[in-house]
A = this chain, B = another copy of it.
Amino acid sequence: MITVFGQSQDSLMLRKIYNESLEHGQAYNYLKVLCKQIGHRLSGSPEAEKAVKWAEKSMKDFGADTVFLQNIMVPHWVRGEKESASIISSKNNQSTPLNVLALGGSVGTNGKTIAANVVEVTSLDELDKLGTSKCAGKIVFINQHMDATKIMTFDAYGPAVTIRWAGAKRAAPLGAVAVIIRSVNPSLDDFPHTGTLHYPDTIKKIPACAVSTNDAEKLSAMLKSDPQLKIKLKMNCMQLPDAPSHNVSGEIKGADANAGYLIVGGHLDSWDTGEGAHDDGAGVVQAMEVLNLLKKAGIKPRHTIRAVAFMNEENGGKGGEYYAKNALEKNEKHIAAIESDCGGFTPRGFFLQGDSLKKEKIRSWKNLFESYQIHSFNFDGGGADIGHLKNQNTFLLGLLPDTQRYFDIHHSPNDVFEHVNRRELQLGAATMAAMIYLIDKYGLE
C-alpha cells in the first residue's frame, strides 16, 4: 500500500520525469539520426549493423553505465532489385503499372516474369472454398479489409494480418502461382505494406506481395469489368544464409545486486521500406530515454534497469529469443519488462500480462497517471520481444499509445520520421520511465 505521503512524493517524481522528457528529452533528436542517417535496417543488412553501432554509442549518451552486445544469428532476406508488376487488359492488351511490395521472406520469381489470370477473394475462407479448380495456374488476390469498427486498431490487425502470414501457404496447395494481398491498412492510400509470411516446409513456396489499399480497390474494379485480365509479376527477392547480428543493451546498475532486473525495450531492426520511425525506432529511443530520465530525476534504482534494443523482431524474433535464453542461463532474475512497439504516439496506458495480483498492484497506481491522460490498464498483452521472458515469471507490460494512425504507417514507405511528433514520443518515454520508477520502488509482490 502506498501512503498518502508516498503518493504525494510519487506525484512529484512523476512530474519531474515528465517535465524533463518534455523540456529536455533527446529521444526525438536521436530518432532523427537513426531515421535520416541510417534509414531502414532489415536484419542482416549493412544498415542494421550501422544501427547496432549507433545504439551502442547512444546508450552511453543516455547515461548507461554499462553497454554490451549479444551475438546472434538472424535470417537474412533481401528484396533485390525493386519488384515490378502490371495489369494487362484481355481486351486490348493495354498495360497498367501496379505498385507491388514483396512480403518479407517471400521467394522471388526466379528471374522470370509470371503472367497469369487473377482470382479475387475477400478472405482465406473464401479462398479455401474456391478450391483447385478455380485457383490452379492463377494469381490469387486476397482483398480482405481491416475491420474499421474496432476502436483499438490492433484488434482489427490480428484477423486481417492472417492474409499476409498465411495467404501463400493457403493458396499454394490449390495450385496458385502467386499471391497478392490488400495491404493491412484501414486507410485508403497509395502505400503498399510489407511484413512477414510463413512457408511450412511441406508446401510449395509461391511469391507473395502486397498492393496499397487504393490499388486493391482499382484492381478489384478492373477485375469486375475484365475478369480475364492478367497480371505480370517479377520479384527478385531471396533468402540468403543467416547473418551475424546483435542485441544492444545499456544498463544502470541497481543498488541491490539481488533485486533483479527491470528492462525496457524496443526493436532496432525494421522492414526495408520507409525509415522504421514508428516501427520501431520510436521504441528504441524511448527505452534509451528511460535511462536518462531516471538519472536526471535523481533516482538511484534498487533493481538494475536495462534498456534493450532487440534485433530481428520483424522476421524471426531471434533477438528476443536469445535474450530470454541468455537471461535464464545467467540466472538474471527479470522482475518486469516493458516493450514499446506500437508506435510513438500519445501514450494512453499499458498492456499488462502476468499474475493477476501484480496487475492489480499496477492498477493501484492508475491515479498517479491520470494527470498525464493515461487511463488504459485493462488490455492484455506484452510484446513480441519480451514475450520470450514470460516463462521466467517476468511481468510483461506493453506501452499502449493511441492506435488510430499506426496501421497507416506500419511496414510501409510511409513510416518516416516526419510522422513522429516530438511531444507524443517524449510523453511515451516519460510514461515508461514513470512505470519503471514505481515498479522499482514498490516491487510487484
| Inter-chain contacts of A421 with B (CB < 8 A) | 187, 404-405, 408
Taking chain A's interface residues, is the majority helix, strand, or loop, or is none over half, making it mixed? loop
**Across the two chains, which residue of chain B brings its CB closest to A149?**
B19
Q: Is there a chain B Cβ closer than 8 Å to A372's Cβ? A: yes
Give which listed residue, B153, B372, B402, contacts A402 with CB less than 8 A: B402
B18 touching A149, Cβ below 8 Å: yes
Q: How far is the CA of A375 from the CA of B346 in the complex (A)?
A: 14
Give which listed residue, B148, B151, B371, B405, contacts A23 with CB less than 8 A: B148
Q: Is there a chain B Cβ closer than 8 Å to A22's Cβ? A: yes
Q: Is there a chain B Cβ closer than 8 Å to A359's Cβ? A: no
A376 touching B376, Cβ below 8 Å: no
| Inter-chain contacts of A148 with B (CB < 8 A) | 22-23, 423
A151 touching B372, Cβ below 8 Å: yes
Q: Is there a chain B Cβ closer than 8 Å to A246's Cβ? A: no
Q: How many residues of A contact B (CB 8 A)?
A: 27
| Inter-chain contacts of A179 with B (CB < 8 A) | none
Q: Is there a chain B Cβ closer than 8 Å to A83's Cβ? A: no
Residues 402 to 430 of chain A near chain B (Cβ within 8 Å): 402, 404-405, 408, 421-424, 427
Q: How far is the CA of A187 from the CA of B22 in the complex (A)?
A: 11
A346 touching B427, Cβ below 8 Å: no
Fill in one digit per residue for A1-44: 1 if any B CB lies within 8 Å of its CB, else 0.
00000000000000000110011000000000000000000000
Q: How far is the CA of A421 from the CA of B407 in the complex (A)?
A: 11
A348 touching B373, Cβ below 8 Å: yes
Q: Is there a chain B Cβ closer than 8 Å to A186's Cβ? A: yes
Give which listed residue, B149, B151, B408, contacts A373 with CB less than 8 A: B151
Centre residue among A153, A372, A375 by max chain B CB count within 10 A = A375
**Which residues of A line the B interface, CB within 8 A?**
18-19, 22-23, 148-149, 151-153, 186-187, 346, 348, 371-373, 375-376, 402, 404-405, 408, 421-424, 427
Q: Which 6 A-B pairs have the closest CB atoms?
A: A375-B375, A22-B148, A404-B423, A19-B149, A404-B424, A23-B148
